[in-house]
A and B are shown apart, each in its own frame.
Chain A
Amino acid sequence: MIPRDVPAIDVTHVTVAYREKPVLWNVDFTVPAGVLLAIVGPNGAGKTTLIKAILGLVRPAAGQVLLYGKPYREQRRLVAYVPQRGSVDWDFPTNALDVVMMGALWGIGLVSPAWSRERDMALEALDKVKMTDFAERQISQLSGGQQQRVFLARALVQDAEIYVMDEPFQGVDATTERAIITLLRELRAQGKTVVVVHHDLSTVPAYFDWVTLLNVERIAHGPVADVFTEQHLRRTYGGNIALLTQPFHAEERSQPYV
């Protein structure tokens, strides 16, 4: 089924350009199965573009991405995607449970015996993110953190091997942050691979095993202990490093939820 001898994600010489301006330049890295990887870098570094390239949503001008040794379109069912919360219309007429059930992408149509199984899976996923009480709630009535947890539950229903998340920690409350972290660790314990676009440098060492430092080019990539160094951060963030050295974010909460 899933080959264990090839890396979960293999990015080779990926270059992406929008209107002749390169957004990603010759990016190269591999991610072994079962790690929590953070992608960090300044605004405009190409983080979202990188995950879109992994998901086949943008076509690289050069290079390729392989997931467990094959291109994305052959491996769709192995990948769950959590887009940025702001990318969807939360006024859409639906409730939390229904959004989570959308994760059952390859289930059968409207009327089928599998429908109640999908519903059970969705309820279970909502329970994992502590959202059971909000299952029937209209999605616009949820807080930002609750919406994010609904998105995570939807990804859980996809029951994938690789989870790709675009800034799940953006603007969420402490409860949600803890819930996400618990979930990420659970996924890792099951041998899943999780790629997270992340903004808060101060929590990188506590939350993640591996990190990719990105600024159009790949600056560094590897286990956090090896590559998450001031020197690499300085090269990634340029002159703004003063903001980033310990504590990285002086003004925000800097206590990670370990």
Chain B
Amino acid sequence: MSVQIEVQLIAVVIAAACAIPGVFLVLRRMAMMSDAISHTVLFGIVIGFFITQDLGSPWLFVGAVLTGVLTVSLVELLNRTQLVKQDAAIGLVFPVLFSLAVILISTFAGNIHLDTDAVIMGELAYAPFDRVVWFGVDMGPRALVVGIALVLLNLAFVTLLYKELKLATFDAGLAAAAGFVPGLLHYALMGLVSVTAVGAFDAVGSILVVALMIAPPSAAYLLTDRLPRMIGLSVLIGAGSGIAGYWLARWLDVSIAGSMATMSGVFFALVLLFAPERGLVAQARRRRTLAHARVQT
């Protein structure tokens, strides 16, 4: 497989992996939680690295997921005091954990791969050079293997718990009365967001993870009235952003991750304008027809 195709494949699977939990974040009005989690997981990664001294260790994942859940718990704890609003609570918790991570990295790990630029921006162009080799067989770039695993994990979660997730998102009261334990589902979803953020991290960096989690589902939301279609469209739009971003980066000779995020924004803007039912153009046209009809009568 050529490097060029591998990079595009990585872009596609990472974008798809992000889009799936992103749908539920958008529907649960928790988009900014992904921003918080994608940054605070760094804290877990750093702690995991200090313990294991190995950047490839699965414990980094575990640390990251725990920090993701910790972030959500701290936000909810603050929120529950009723002295701080939810959005302010996110704004309070996330800088604390993120800045702790940044300080730890700059103090103790200045000379290793864990540099802050890479964490925030990612570098997809180098991803194909970090390969997974099992029993002497090259399984492909690490980012691709991780991306595929994430897509499968997210798909499995959403498929197996589809009914529960849907009900808990639409009507938390009934879900609780039915004994679905919305709290547990909520934390499971946040754990998934954390895992996905960490997995996508290496390839696209923490800021762009947010773009890929939020922009494609937000666009899909404007295009359909059905949840399954919204998930499917999110994945497609995410994958499209990945490929379009790659070629944009090639053309302009700029960061691939940056271009991917840009393209996800461009796709969202196009949908916002031209969505057949809810787009701004369609709305304006309906208003004009209405005004016209009124003049006629």
Q: Is residue B292 contacting chain A, with contact meaning CB distance below 8 A?
A: no
A122 to chain B, nearest CB (A): 14
**Are B173 and A92 in contact, with the CB atoms below 8 A?**
no
The answer for the CA separation of A107 and B160 in the assembled complex, in Å, is 13
Q: Is residue B116 contacting chain A, with contact meaning CB distance below 8 A?
A: no
Which 9 A-B pairs rank lowest in CB-CB distance, beginning with the nearest?
Answer: A83-B173, A138-B225, A81-B177, A88-B171, A55-B177, A105-B178, A92-B170, A93-B230, A93-B227
**Are B159 and A110 in contact, with the CB atoms below 8 A?**
yes
Chain B 211-239, CB within 8 Å of chain A: the 1/0 string? 00000000001001111011000000000
| Contact A76:B226 (CB < 8 A) given known A92-B170, A94-B170, A110-B159 | no
13 additional A-B residue pairs with CB within 8 Å, beyond A76-B179, A95-B225? A81-B173, A81-B177, A88-B173, A89-B27, A89-B170, A92-B169, A93-B224, A93-B225, A93-B227, A94-B170, A98-B226, A102-B167, A109-B163
Chain B 139-180, CB within 8 Å of chain A: the 1/0 string? 000000000000000000001101100110111011011110
**Are A56 and B177 in contact, with the CB atoms below 8 A?**
yes
Q: How many A residues face the partner with a CB closer than 8 A?
A: 23
With a cutoff of 8 Å between Cβ atoms, the chain B residues found around residue A88 in the complex are 170-171, 173
Q: Is residue A116 contacting chain B, with contact meaning CB distance below 8 A?
A: no
User: At the interface, is chain B mostly helix, strand, loop or mixed?
Assistant: helix
B164 to chain A, nearest CB (A): 9
With a cutoff of 8 Å between Cβ atoms, the chain A residues found around residue B171 in the complex are 83, 87-88, 102
With a cutoff of 8 Å between Cβ atoms, the chain A residues found around residue B27 in the complex are 89, 92-93
The answer for the CA separation of A110 and B27 in the assembled complex, in Å, is 20
Chain A 43-79, CB within 8 Å of chain B: the 1/0 string? 0000000000001110000000000000001001001
**Are A110 and B162 in contact, with the CB atoms below 8 A?**
yes
Q: Is residue A181 contacting chain B, with contact meaning CB distance below 8 A?
A: no
Interface residues in B173-209 (C-beta closer than 8 Å to A): 173-174, 176-179
| Contact A94:B226 (CB < 8 A) given known A76-B179, A102-B166, A105-B178 | yes
A249 to chain B, nearest CB (A): 28
The answer for the CA separation of A62 and B173 in the assembled complex, in Å, is 22
A114 to chain B, nearest CB (A): 12
Q: Could you write out 23 A-B pairs with CB less than 8 Å apart?
A: A55-B177, A56-B177, A76-B177, A81-B173, A81-B177, A83-B173, A83-B174, A88-B170, A89-B27, A92-B169, A92-B170, A93-B224, A93-B227, A93-B229, A93-B230, A94-B170, A94-B227, A98-B227, A102-B166, A102-B170, A109-B163, A110-B163, A138-B225
Interface residues in B239-288 (C-beta closer than 8 Å to A): none
**Are B221 and A93 in contact, with the CB atoms below 8 A?**
yes
With a cutoff of 8 Å between Cβ atoms, the chain B residues found around residue A81 in the complex are 173-174, 177
The answer for the CA separation of A62 and B281 in the assembled complex, in Å, is 58
With a cutoff of 8 Å between Cβ atoms, the chain A residues found around residue B169 in the complex are 92
A163 to chain B, nearest CB (A): 12
Chain B 6-31, CB within 8 Å of chain A: the 1/0 string? 00000000000000000000010000
